[in-house]
Structure 1
Amino acid sequence: MARSLSTKIFNSRIEILKDVGHWPLIENSVKSKELLLEHINFIEGMKGE
């Protein structure tokens, strides 16, 4: 359950990253890093449960 949920969340975040492609490059990369780090922290938190 948790794995499929995290996969869905990850896939939805990939879509978000694609959507932000029209932002200026520097801002885009910063936001991409923030989203990825947030996702990694979320997954780590799920593993801890």
Structure 2
Amino acid sequence: MTRFLLGLLLGGCGSAITWAAGHNTGWTVAIGVTVAVLVWLGEFILDDLI
């Protein structure tokens, strides 16, 4: 649950920064979703790499 909330928070922060820098909806959604998914699945990705 902690990782889910952290992903939501960091995804939202990434989206806000992207929106403030470029005002582009497509990039904003892409960055927010990418950051959230990487946080949610980061443990599984790192286990495969190590």
TM-score normalised according to structure 2 size: 0.49
TM-score normalised according to structure 1 size: 0.50
